[in-house]
């Protein structure tokens, strides 16, 4: 059986669906601090606060889990506003999962982030092994989590696996409190309002990934032969890098009247401290990582999906005719 924490979040919703296709819903237990998104839930569901060690232990005592997909976490922008909460959820929560994985011999996946890097890291083609001096609390928790994972893997032989996600673009569930959220919000505002005001400047280049590739990276890493894995902190995974102006341009090719304006706020400083592109050679060599989507394929798929979700039939029709 597979335990998913943070199942109501942006990655949790899509990953739970992919896992239920693979293993059947009866093999999953989705958990989150908040109640399920649908009634009845799509997969068996329980409320779980990952910072509550007793609650975590009680839950793990009741099921024979073989894998934990630990997605509960606070993202970068929220983490700057609530640093104590960010530490507690991201570090204490992960430590509870590592301890559970250790005592019960469960395989554990959790996502780190490009936020592990900081202003002293090379920003272009950021290598796997490089300086990790983040300035955000979120980044501090991710570096801490990576080092904890490596310690548990090398000292206690825990099979812990992780990727450093870039911004993830998707339509099933909204991201919350991230610095890369503009890349999702731009699609929803383009379809619902025809315009978007972006909270980072037009030339802010950031590494991104479309959700199907993000899901694929998790499944591929979980499937990989343990003997081939050389990284037990967290693997760099790269896909596409683009700026808000480039994304706006790509959207405009399908929606000529779309306009994007810019009003950078405190998130600009966070974005400027992160890499612009990522070198993921070890992931490609160790477990054959390869993304499928480029910018244009992602934009077409996102616009189609968001138009369908928001009931914008004329746009859907136009998109299908231009395919």
Residue ranges that bind ligand AKB, judged by CB under 6 A = 75-76, 113-115, 138, 165-167, 178-180
Least CB distance to ligand AKB at residue 224 (A) = 22
Query: Of the residues 82, 138, 196, 262, which is catalytic?
Result: 138
Least CB distance to ligand AKB at residue 277 (A) = 14
Closer to ligand AKB by Cβ: residue 132 or 180: 180
Closer to ligand AKB by Cβ: residue 138 or 258: 138
Instruction: Give the residue closest to ligand AKB by C-beta.
Output: 178
Least CB distance to ligand AKB at residue 180 (A) = 4
Collapsed DSSP state (helix, strand, coil) of residue 180: coil
Measure Cα distances from 52 to 49, 55, 140 in Å: 6, 5, 21
Q: Strand pairing of 240-242 and 206-210? A: antiparallel
Token code pair at residue 11:
């990655």
Q: Where are the alpha helices (DSSP H) in the chain?
A: 10-23, 53-62, 76-81, 83-87, 93-104, 137-156, 182-193, 211-223, 244-252, 267-272, 281-287, 295-309, 313-322
Active-site residue, 138 included: yes
Collapsed DSSP state (helix, strand, coil) of residue 235: strand
Least CB distance to ligand AKB at residue 116 (A) = 9
Closer to ligand AKB by Cβ: residue 20 or 236: 236
Side-chain-side CA neighbours of 223 within 13 Å: the count stands at 11
Closer to ligand AKB by Cβ: residue 59 or 211: 211
Give kind and range of the element (H or E) at residue 92. none
- Residues noted as catalytic: 138
């Amino acid at each position: 059986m597979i335990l998913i924490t943070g199942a109501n979040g942006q990655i949790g919703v899509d990953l739970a669906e992919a896992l239920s296709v693979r293993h059947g819903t009866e093999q999953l237990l989705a958990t989150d601090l908040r109640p399920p998104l649908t009634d009845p839930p799509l997969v068996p569901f329980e409320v779980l606060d990952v910072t509550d060690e007793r609650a975590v232990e009680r839950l793990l005592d009741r099921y024979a889990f073989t894998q934990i997909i630990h997605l509960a976490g606070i993202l970068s922008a929220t983490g700057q506003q609530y640093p104590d909460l960010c530490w507690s959820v991201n570090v204490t929560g992960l430590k509870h999962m590592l301890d559970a994985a250790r005592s019960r011999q469960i395989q554990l996946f959790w996502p780190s982030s490009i936020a592990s890097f900081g202003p002293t890291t090379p920003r272009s083609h950021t290598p796997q092994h490089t300086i990790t001096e983040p300035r955000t609390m979120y980044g501090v928790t991710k570096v801490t989590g990576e080092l904890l994972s490596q310690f548990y893997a090398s000292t206690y032989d825990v099979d812990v696996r992780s990727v450093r996600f870039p911004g993830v673009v998707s339509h099933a569930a909204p991201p919350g409190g991230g610095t890369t959220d503009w890349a999702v919000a731009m699609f929803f505002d383009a379809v619902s309002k025809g315009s978007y005001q972006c909270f980072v400047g037009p030339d802010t280049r950031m590494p991104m990934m479309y959700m199907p590739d993000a899901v694929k990276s998790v499944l591929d890493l979980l499937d990989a032969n343990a003997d081939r894995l050389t990284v037990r902190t967290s693997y760099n995974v790269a896909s596409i890098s683009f700026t808000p102006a480039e994304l706006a341009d790509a959207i405009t090719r399908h929606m000529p009247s779309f306009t994007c304006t810019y009003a950078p706020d405190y998130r600009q400083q966070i974005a400027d401290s992160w890499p612009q592109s990522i070198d993921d050679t070890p992931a490609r060599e160790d477990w054959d990582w390869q993304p499928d989507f480029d910018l244009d394929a992602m934009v077409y798929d996102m616009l189609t999906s968001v138009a369908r979700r928001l009931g914008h039939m004329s746009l859907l029709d136009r998109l299908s005719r231009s395919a």
